[in-house]
Amino acid sequence: MKKLTVSLLVLVLSSPFAIVKAQQKKNDSTTQTKEIEGVVVTALGIKRDKKSLGYSTQSVTASDLTKSPTSNFTSNLSGKVSGLQVKSVSNFGGSVDIVLRGYKSIAGNNQPLFVIDGVPMINANNNTSAQSAQGRPGYDFGNTISDINPNDIEELNVLKGAAATALYGSRAQNGAIIITTKKGKKGKNIGVELNSSISISSINKATFPTYQKQYGQGYGYYYGPNENSQFADYNGSPMTPTTEDASYGAAFNPNLLVYQYEAFIPGSPNFGKATPWVAGKNDPSTFFQKGVNYNNGVSFSKGGDTGSFRLSFNNQNGSDIMPNTYLNKNTISGNASYKLMDNLTATIGATYVNQNVKGRNSTGYGGNLIAGFRQWWPVNVDLRDQQNFYMNSGNNYTWNIGGSDNLTPSYWNNPYFQVYENAVRDTRERFAGNFSLSYDVTKNFNLLARVGTDGFTQRMEDRKAVGSIPELMGFGLTDLEQPSGFAVMQIKQRETNYDFIANYKKDFDNGLSFNSLLGTNLNVINFYSNSQSTSGGLYVPGLYALSNSYATPPRAVTIDTTKKIAGIFAQASVGYHGTYYLEGTVRRDQSSALPVNNNVYWYYSGSASVVFSNWEFLKGSIMNFGKLRASYAEVGSDTGANQIKNQYFTSTSFGDLPMIYYNTSEKNPNLKPQRSKQTELGLNAQFFKNRIGLDIAWFRNDAYDQILALPVSFGTGVATKVQNAGNLRTDGWEVSLNITPIKSDNFRWDVNANWSNPQTRVTKLAPGNENITLGTFQGGVTINASLDDLYGTIKGTDFIYTNGEKTVGANGRYLISSSTNNVIGNMQADWFGGLANKFTYKDFQLSFQIDWRKGGSIFSLDQYYGLATGLYPETAGTNDLGNPIRNPISQGGGVILPGVQANGSSNDIRVSGANYGLYGYRYAPAAAFVYDASFVKLREVAISYSIPSKYLANTFFKGLTFSAIGNNLWIIHKNLPYADPEAALSSGNAQGFQSGVMPTSRVFSFSLKANF
């Protein structure tokens, strides 16, 4: 019988004597701390003992990254690293917003640097106008870091502070995520690994509208011969007001026959017929389908005394919950190393990615199909009829026709015409490669020469078919109304790094250890983009080519820039008896993006750590490991290319003369580098044979001399000027906790928790400037960096208050401030975190993760419009008298709005709900549609079974594991109605705004992993 070794944590905590005795069997402190803390990969791909680091790092295992199949592996980082806020924005193939320890740039990039095998990688998000053009229509084309095949990852380590990342220069001012890929391992035969999964996604209805089913199309009593009816007139019979895109019309009555839009559609089974006035059987939630994604990969690897290799191929192929969508991505990766001599090793690695996507959802406002479902929809329409009309005819027969004799869409396309005829397409090809030579001059002295490159070419096509609703605000490069069109944008971006690093390390007999490096880096960034479009529509329907432009196409917009940064750097670390450590770094960069007299900037960092568990009086105690650490760093950063000299641009010709205009933002030949000061204090501790682990950190960052385009007097001829101004200060705490409450020979329970509360505040702007607008959106809402306020302030119109109560006027409706400069929310969370539990019983494993976000705000344009148009159940209830709210007041309808009158007395004035406007934007300020963005989510549940090796002994399998995984299964708590608080237009700085966001998908996956 096996010896029983089960121990509950409560018993462990009450019996420290047993642990002390066990620890005394092995009291070599250096060995112990190395086993506990381990070795991690830091800046420049250099491996270090984690105990020696005076700054915060946190690792994520490869199994945690690959457990859930996804189109972007970074979404699997959510909740797993303290201080790392990860937000998947719900768009098909869309981007993931990642911010580490708060915001460090007011208007620039706040994403951390990704580094693979020591080489920085591009993480661009080439989203179109959704973010930059004030929330108007656009597309989220995803982060390019999603090209990484997670099955190639061996380890991922997050470097959080500037002291950790200073050697990378300005590119890592927001932190760095260091990825080490798998290599060939020593063995007799070639190792083969197969990964295969299928994922099925479906709409989470808690993140999509629930429609009222009591009232139909219209805006109230505006129609008929006397304009006092809820119906239009058709030959003396009631007819729905088909031009209207609201559900504030007549109450449903199955005994009432009404001419609806399908009575005028050729081929309709109800052509020429009046039909019962009832809610549509199939509402827009039935528009969504089951998404199916297949992910298959195979790798071959082998290692030996003189070399190793690994080659992998992965294919991801699938569809989304929207019809007519697909994403197909192929990734080929390989690496190899070979000892040319005993002390000279060559290493090479390469990755090629080819991605083809169709049918990304539109984001922003205007033409966004999902915005129509959330904001402007008549609930008498049956989606299945819309599907049949398009599938049977191919025409844009929509519910929103201009009238009985006009089948032209008024505002909205047939949803199926939209997704099949106007599907956006994009392709991306990417190549990344690196080559290095490592020469051991002596056993303590190494020289490394490395070149790494990463680049991609992306082509994005936007199509508007003949017969679509016109693009009223322009299409492509045009500003005028366009009936149809074709627009294409091509982007080429490449980053190449050349490194030479000398590394010396030695352990001395007196307990002193020394580790140093000296190196140089040349970073070259090339960017090219070309945008073109038709004008005046398409001459030949269905032919999507620039040459098919009805009118002369506008001039192409081309950008072609190169930026170079040359750097030298050094680092030195001293340790004493594996207990006391000091480290310092210095780097000097010279950037071509800054003026010659200001293009050199320096970085400094210093850190210290003390492994106090090595002190004699603590040895043998309940503490296995304890370390105090502190770090300080000053870093600099440049700006994007082309910010120094003013330019002229050409536009579409006017007659025979070209249109030439000056840049609207004045460049600055006197720019200085942006600077940042970062401080961190931290504590690591492990107790009771590592059954309890704790990591606590406090950090502060001041990012000053921000490079911004600030408003100037229009008398200067420009709207803004690029200047150095402003300071962002971020303070926060991070806590990581790991506990093993139960541990036995056959069963183990592990708990990991992460929590953080970074808060970024604008503490300084240029004289005369008190606000910088990050984004301007529909509804008069802006996202801002306001002086002496938290970064990401949401501003708009607000209620007028009397003694803290909302005030109504003489008509019983709310009084609204005329200013749009009221602070009505902030996009930053108060805190966020994650809790993961993992249970292992023999060869079975069950895990689940819960993510939290507390606080922060989000403005919902969906509620702003959707409540006004009567879509939601809140607009169709009963009032305090027990009567339908939408009845005329003479019939007991209407409501008394909560609040007070101007004299402070309680409001007792009843307002009508018979016509639209009782709810929604018409008589309410933007503040009424700002919601608490808190949530609690069951992010992930996974169960797996690994077949015991004894059952595989006579097979060709070395390992075989089956898994079932669920993602985004349950939003346990949220305050935002009918949407996911994480959903957004795209990644970027302007968060806290929603319009027409995609519903969240529940994803169920089944996977197989086999080793041969």
Q: Summarize the confidence of residues 54-75 as an average pLDDT.
A: 88
Concatenate the DSSP letters of all residues of 204-263 into one string. Answer: -GGGSPPPPSSB-SBSSS-BTTTT-BSSEEETTEEE--TT---B-SPBPEEEEEEB-GGG
Percent residues over pLDDT 90 in the chain: 75
CA atoms within 13 A on the CB side of 153: 26
Q: Which amino acid is at 48?
A: R
Query: Which range, of 267-281, 423-437, 611-625, averages the lowest pLDDT?
Result: 611-625
> Rg (Cα) of the chain, in Å, rounded?
31
Query: Which range, of 26-30, 102-106, 617-621, 746-750, averages the lowest pLDDT?
Result: 26-30
What confidence score (pLDDT) does residue 128 get?
66
Q: Identify which of 260, 245, 15, 163 has the alpha carbon closest to the alpha carbon of residue 634.
A: 163
**Cβ 116 vs Cβ 333: under 8 Å:** no
With cut-offs at 50, 70 and 90, classify the pLDDT of residue 940: very high
Tokens, residue 682: 């931290």
Most confident among 141-145, 154-158, 713-717, 870-874 (mean pLDDT) = 870-874
Kindly list the distances between the CA atom of residue 91 and the CA atoms of 650, 807, 998, in Å, as whole numbers in the listed order. 35, 39, 6
Strand 665-666 and strand 720-724: the pairing is parallel
Mean pLDDT over the full length of the chain: 90
Q: Does residue 610 surpass a pLDDT of 50?
A: yes
With cut-offs at 50, 70 and 90, classify the pLDDT of residue 646: confident
Q: Does residue 23 surpass a pLDDT of 80?
A: no
Distance CA 464, CA 477 (A): 14
- What does the pLDDT look like over 318-354, one tens digit per residue? 999 999 999 999 999 999 999 999 999 999 999 999 9
Q: Summarize the confidence of residues 18-33 as an average pLDDT.
A: 37
What confidence score (pLDDT) does residue 651 get?
65
Q: Does residue 490 surpass a pLDDT of 60?
A: yes
What confidence score (pLDDT) does residue 917 get?
93
Residue 38 vs residue 982, higher pLDDT: 982
Q: Summarize the confidence of residues 704-732 as an average pLDDT.
A: 86
Which residues contact residue 490 at a Cβ distance below 8 angstroms, ignoring those fewer than 6 apart? 457, 458, 459, 460, 529, 530
Distance CA 989, CA 80 (A): 22
What confidence score (pLDDT) does residue 431 get?
97
Q: Summarize the confidence of residues 766-772 as an average pLDDT.
A: 89
With cut-offs at 50, 70 and 90, classify the pLDDT of residue 716: confident
Distance CA 386, CA 414 (A): 6
What confidence score (pLDDT) does residue 9 get?
37
With cut-offs at 50, 70 and 90, classify the pLDDT of residue 654: low
With cut-offs at 50, 70 and 90, classify the pLDDT of residue 987: confident
Question: Which residue reads 């929330």 in tokens?
Answer: 135
